[in-house]
Amino acid sequence: MKTTALCEAFGVNCEVHTTTNALKDVTNLHLSCMIRNCEYFEVPI
């Protein structure tokens, strides 16, 4: 959350990426929904 606040202070987006673990992906997805300056959730296809 400190990183997202820093990004917001400088006016840049804080984008979240996936991991190799499904449980961590769900956690990151919830985090990205909570961040105001996050526009997308990157998922490898």
> Could you give the CA distance from residue 39 to residue 23 in angstroms, rounded to a whole number?
21
pTM (2 d.p.): 0.67
Q: CB of 8 within 8 A of CB of 36?
A: yes
Mean pLDDT on 2-26: 89
Query: Which residue, 24, 23, 16, 7, is CA-closest to 43?
Result: 16
Task: Tell me the mean pLDDT in the region 9-21.
Answer: 88
Residue-level pLDDT at 1: 84
Residue 38's SS3 state is coil
Residue corresponding to tokens 């959350």: 1
Task: Give the integer Cα–Cα distance in Å for 14 and 23.
Answer: 21
pLDDT band at 12 (very low <50, low <70, confident <90, very high): very high
